[in-house]
Amino acid sequence: MDKLTEMALLADFYGPLLTEKQQNVWDLHYQQDLSLVEIAEAEHISRQAIHDLLKRTERILTEYEEKLGLVQRFWTERQKLMEVQTLLQGLSGRDFSSNSAWERHQKIRAMIEDVFINISAV
């Protein structure tokens, strides 16, 4: 995973724990793709101060992940869900002893696919 993707995930999970200023500068740099100079002008502080704030914010987000592991857990659970989805796709009506069992399978499969679609957007 490249740094930008990793940082985006960390911000998605832990961004609300940042200060308003950290969130704002983070958004300007990573989401709106502004340069450090552009952000410094908008915030009326030095380029170096913006650089330091971004580095400190990256460190904070990384420390949250090291302590809480939400992003890693998300990827692990996503992988498991992909495996379940693959297994379910391999089943057919002939694999079930009754029509009601097949219908339950179809409902479960649809629910899992819905969850997978929602988390794949992340």
Q: What is the pLDDT of residue 56?
A: 97
Q: What is the pTM of this model?
A: 0.76
What does the DSSP 8-state code read for residue 45? Answer: S
Residue in this structure with the two tokens 């696919």, named with its chain if needed: 113
Instruction: Break the chain into its structural domains and give their ranges.
Output: 3-68, 72-120
CA 104 distance to own-chain centroid? 31
Any idea which fold 3-68 has? Arc Repressor Mutant, subunit A (1.10.10)
pLDDT tens per residue across all 122 residues of the chain: 788 888 999 999 999 999 999 999 999 999 999 999 999 999 999 999 999 999 999 999 999 999 999 999 999 988 998 898 888 888 888 888 888 888 888 898 888 888 878 877 66
Residue 111 CA to its chain's centroid (Å): 20
Contact 72, 9 (CB under 8 A): no
